[in-house]
Amino acid sequence: MRKAMLSPSRSTRKDKGSPPQTESSRERLLAVATELFGRRGVDGTSIRDLAEAAGANVAAVHYHFGGKDELYAAVIERAFQRMDEHRRSLERALATARAEGTAQAAERALASCIREFLERLFDGAEPSWAATFLSRESMQPTKAMERVIHEFVRPTWDTFLSLLDLIRPDFAGTQATRFVASSIVGQCLYYQHALPVVLTTFELRRIDKAFLDSAGAHIVRFSLDALRRR
């Protein structure tokens, strides 16, 4: 599990009456909020918890973000910005596959995107913050996720469907493509959402790159075998 960040000593904290003015206090709040919200959720984290962990006064949250909910929204957006790099990578792969114009090129693009997505779900041996918040929001959705879905998730999903259409043009525009896409995404998410189960059933102490490479290769083979069936 992720280790909790150490709270700064009281001597480094600002007086409660002084207004927060520095960009560094904003960045500290984002950093500690990412961890505290990720571990405890919004309801389990108070503004005082955030301020103490960041070495700031309580007013800093309102000064920089407007409130706890707005800070959470900023944390969610920043966490998913890294995942948005996957969307851009997926778009480049789609453009390359279209330029080559073959099913084989589309399959190579799909294989690359599956491996990259699986890797982005993890940060070393631990789930990435984007994956952590995705899990939490799936169970306890908040308004912050609406923007993430609109700006990050939906564009990536639409690009992914377009790539699958190149492999199975007979599925284009049908529910079948969405079922296939959901199946592939679900296979990837399993290793993050069910991490304790994965560690137990695979008899692992931790997730490493070699395991993710093997898992990604399996998902690619399994998915392409299914897609090639007529």
pLDDT in tens, 164-180: 999 999 999 899 999 99
Which residues, given as ranges, of the chain have pLDDT below 70? 1-23
Q: What is the pLDDT of residue 23?
A: 57
Instruction: Report the CATH fold assignment for 79-228.
Output: Tetracycline Repressor; domain 2 (1.10.357)
65 vs 75: CA distance, rounded Å: 11
DSSP-derived pairing of the beta strands 126-127 and 122-123: antiparallel
Report long-range pairs for 220-229 (Cβ below 8 Å, ≥24 apart): 220/110, 220/111, 220/114, 220/115, 222/187, 223/110, 223/114, 223/180, 223/183, 223/184, 223/187, 224/107, 224/110, 224/111, 226/180, 226/183, 227/107, 227/164, 227/167, 227/168, 227/180
Give yes or no on whether 10-66 and 79-228 have one common fold.
no
Instruction: Report the CATH fold assignment for 10-66.
Output: Arc Repressor Mutant, subunit A (1.10.10)
Q: What is the pLDDT of residue 8?
A: 39
Q: What is the pLDDT of residue 22?
A: 53
Helices (H), the chain: 23-40, 47-54, 59-65, 68-100, 103-120, 129-139, 144-148, 154-167, 175-193, 195-201, 209-228
Q: Could you state, in order of their start, the residue ranges of all structural domains in the chain?
A: 10-66, 79-228
Q: What is the pLDDT of residue 80?
A: 84
Distances (CA, A) of 219 to 89, 158, 212: 19, 20, 10
The DSSP call for residue 6 is: P
62 vs 70: CA distance, rounded Å: 9
Candidates 93, 212, 87; CA nearest to 153 is 87
Q: What is the pLDDT of residue 124?
A: 77
Q: What is the pLDDT of residue 143?
A: 86
127 pairs with which residues across the strands? 122
